[in-house]
Amino acid sequence: MKKSLMLACALVLAGLSGTASAGEAFVRGEIGKSDVKLKLDGVGSESDKDTAYALRGGYWFNSNFAVEGHYSRFYDQTLYNDGAGYVDGKLSAIGLGMVAKEHTTDSGLGFFVQLRAGVARGKISLDTSEGSGSETSTKPYYGIGAGYDFSRRFGLSLNYDHNQGSGGGLEITANTLSLGLEARF
């Protein structure tokens, strides 16, 4: 029994190491627009838009599957300023997830669609003339994209991502449409 388990583990590790050596690392920058919605129990809801960006990096195990980590900034605005007092708000997230990509050709180049999903730790920060504070929550995220891989090393895509957070009666969603540039090495 132990020998069978050891053999199975060795085969799995050998398969993973072969897959990993056939893959490639990547970095990706995205810039676009976020639509941020806030809903506070008993108070109501509000929404606003802001320029958003994301920095992503990870590893493609093959042309179809990757793991990624990311930092995203969805919102960074002054919410109130009358000269005597101010309130600045920021919304960001760090996350870890999986990416699945399918090309329209067998070469692994050209047009593609991709899906991504994972878990992100969102953070809302408020800085005021009276002090500052922040709140975090961990929630799933997901996204879809379409683009074009010009070579094995370079691609461009249009992406839509949905992130959410909650805590203390506050629910937040950030829906982002962005243009992404990916380099693989």
Structure tokens at 22: 């056939």
pLDDT at residue 140 greater than cutoff 70: yes
Q: What is the pLDDT of residues 31-46, one digit of tens each?
A: 999 999 999 888 899 9
Domains, the chain, ordered by start? 24-184 (2.40.160.20)
Percent of the chain with pLDDT over 90: 75
pTM of the model: 0.82
Distance CA 145, CA 12 (A): 31
HEC states along the chain? CHHHHHHHHHHHHHHHHHHHHHCEEEEEEEEEEEEEEEEECCCEEEEEEEEEEEEEEEEECCCCEEEEEEEEEEEEEEEEECCCCEEEEEEEEEEEEEEEEEECCCCCCEEEEEEEEEEEEEEEEEEECCEEEEEEEEEEEEEEEEEEECCCCEEEEEEEEEEEEEECCEEEEEEEEEEEEEEEC
pLDDT at residue 5 greater than cutoff 50: no
